[in-house]
Amino acid sequence: MYRFGLVLLGLLALMDVATPLLTDGDHPPMSIAIGSAVVGLISLVLVGFAWRGKRWALAPLITLRLASALLAVPAFFASDVPAAAVAAAGFGVGATVVGVIAVLLPSRELAGAR
C-alpha cells in the first residue's frame, strides 16, 4: 500500500506540474497554476526520497499534497468554472485522500506491531 500511495501522490504531483500548460489563464488563474506547479515539483522530489525509504519526507509530502487539494476547493463554489475543471478538481481531491491514507496505513500497522 505504501508504494501504491507514493505512485498515486507522484502522479498527482505530475498533474500539478502540467497545470500551467493546461490552463486558459482563468480556470485556474495563472498564479494558482504556477503555484500548483511549484508544489508539484517539490512533491516529486519528496516522493523520490520517500520511495528510497526516507520517512522524514512523508510529513512535508502529505502537507504539500493536502495543500494542493485545498487549492482545488474553490472550483466547487465558483459559478463560472467549467464542469470539466470541477470534475478534475473532484478527482484530484479524492485521489489525494486515497494516496495519503495508503501512505499512512503501513506506518500504523508497524507502530501497532511494536
Residues contacting 17, CB < 8 A, separation 6+ = 37, 40, 41, 44
Query: What are the C-alpha distances in Å from 19 to residues 23, 29, 38, 102?
Result: 6, 10, 10, 24
Q: Strand, helix or coil at 26?
A: strand
**Each residue of 36-50: pLDDT tens digit?**
899 999 999 999 999
77 vs 25: which has the higher pLDDT: 77
107 vs 29: which has the higher pLDDT: 29
Burial class (CB in 10 A: 0-12, 13-18, 19+), 18: middle
